[in-house]
């Protein structure tokens, strides 16, 4: 109990003033938690404001076209979150009459809501005594109790959940959950935490055993795949370009991008010309130029993309060519290309 009271006392004195902390509205809590998965607060905050302005209620979000939802999400990444968000909003709005389930177990049945998000909504909004376990919680508990369990292992969640369940306050469990997550985000940070100014340092076993820098243990077993993407930036006499919609699969499914050539190795100009000569533009293209300044690397969770852009001049007007695409949802590399080159918007 000392741990719980110390950490909630710290929270009252040090917590950030974030908009979703000033409400018990489950729609706002849910929205913020989905947005902050794999995302820093500073990055997610503008998106939170944009979504709550565009869609003040869960029903507004449910009624919106998916294309608009994806466009507002553009740049936040992990687009499956946005699709699940939209589908779950529709279920809540049209099947549950706009009301979120109040129990942890019922929340888990909704698409895109896992153990952490269900626990957050249940405790923050409905005072359900369910502990949250995220990266911050793993780190705080692993250090304070000197736990050397690999947090990437199959049994880690169950072990840390059980410990957090012993520590959580009976009254106001949401406060405890907020406090331990904030403590991990601001005080017990991943690298070089200021242990001398930590209110829990006297009881921290990692500090006593000089293991702060090695806990929590996480042994990565995922190999990063490297891929080569070659985007074709067509430009016709009207300075229009061509965007195509990706198929209904993959991390960027249904987003719009330039025509893409995937290669196993670094592509040469001959590869691009060979592709053009087999395409519908075989008699129309005039020149091929590699835009060296636009080469970028883009890191996804388990993939590293090496991306080149090739400018191809077309002698006649492109079918379905676009001079602007402000309403279309685009993958981050396409947005970066536009920002870097200012040739298309």
- Residues annotated catalytic, as ranges: 33
Percent of residues in the chain assigned helix, strand, coil, to nearest 5: 45, 15, 40
Q: Which residues pair with 289 in a beta bridge?
A: 311
Backbone angles phi and psi of 273, in degrees to 5: -65, -40
Q: What is the largest CA-CA distance in the chain?
A: 76
Structural tokens at position 67: 């294309």
Contact status, residue 41 vs residue 32, Cβ threshold 8 Å:
no
Question: Does residue 60 have a cis peptide bond before it, meaning omega lies within 30 degrees of 0?
Answer: no
Q: Please tell me the distance from the alpha carbon of residue 112 to that of residue 107, in angstroms, as a whole number.
A: 10
Q: Please tell me the distance from the alpha carbon of residue 227 to that of residue 99, in angstroms, as a whole number.
A: 44
Backbone angles phi and psi of 195, in degrees to 5: -65, -25
Map tokens 């636009």 to a residue.
Answer: 294
Q: Please tell me the distance from the alpha carbon of residue 98 to that of residue 101, in angstroms, as a whole number.
A: 10
Give SS3 for 201. helix
Contact status, residue 307 vs residue 332, Cβ threshold 8 Å:
no
Structural tokens at position 139: 């780190």
Shortest CA distance to 286 belongs to which of 309, 318, 315, 311? Answer: 315
Helix residue spans in the chain (DSSP H): 2-14, 26-35, 41-54, 58-63, 66-73, 80-94, 104-107, 115-126, 135-144, 156-167, 173-186, 205-208, 269-277, 332-341
């Amino acid at each position: 109990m000392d741990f719980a009271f110390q950490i909630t006392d710290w929270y009252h004195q040090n917590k950030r003033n974030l908009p979703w902390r000033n409400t018990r509205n489950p729609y706002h809590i849910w929205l913020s938690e989905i947005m902050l998965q794999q995302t820093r607060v500073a990055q997610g905050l503008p998106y939170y404001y944009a979504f709550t302005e565009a869609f003040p209620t869960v029903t507004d979000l449910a009624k919106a076209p998916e294309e608009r939802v994806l466009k507002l999400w553009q740049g936040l990444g992990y687009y499956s979150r946005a699709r699940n968000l939209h589908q779950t909003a529709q279920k809540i709005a049209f099947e549950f009459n706009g009301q979120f389930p109040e129990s942890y177990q019922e929340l888990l049945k909704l698409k895109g809501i896992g153990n952490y998000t269900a626990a957050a909504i249940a405790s923050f909004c409905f005072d359900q005594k369910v502990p949250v376990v995220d990266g911050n919680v793993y780190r705080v508990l692993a250090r304070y109790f000197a736990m050397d369990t690999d947090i990437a292992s199959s049994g880690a969640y169950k072990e840390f959940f059980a410990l957090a369940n012993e520590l959580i306050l009976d009254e106001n469990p949401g406060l405890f959950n907020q406090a331990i997550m904030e403590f991990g985000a601001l005080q017990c940070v991943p690298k070089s935490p200021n242990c001398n100014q930590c209110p829990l340092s006297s009881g921290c076993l990692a500090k006593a055993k000089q293991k702060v820098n090695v806990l929590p243990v996480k042994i990565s077993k995922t190999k990063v795949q490297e891929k080569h993407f070659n985007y074709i930036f067509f430009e016709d006499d009207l300075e229009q370009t061509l965007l195509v919609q990706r198929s209904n699969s993959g991390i960027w499914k249904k987003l719009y991008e330039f025509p893409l050539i995937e290669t196993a190795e670094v592509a040469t100009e001959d590869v691009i010309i060979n592709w053009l000569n087999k395409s519908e533009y075989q008699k129309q293209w005039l020149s091929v130029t590699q835009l060296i300044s636009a080469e970028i690397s883009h890191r996804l969770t388990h993939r590293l993309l090496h991306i080149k852009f090739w400018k191809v001049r077309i002698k006649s007007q492109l079918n379905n060519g676009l001079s602007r695409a402000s309403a279309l949802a685009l993958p981050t590399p396409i947005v970066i290309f536009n920002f870097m080159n200012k040739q298309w918007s």
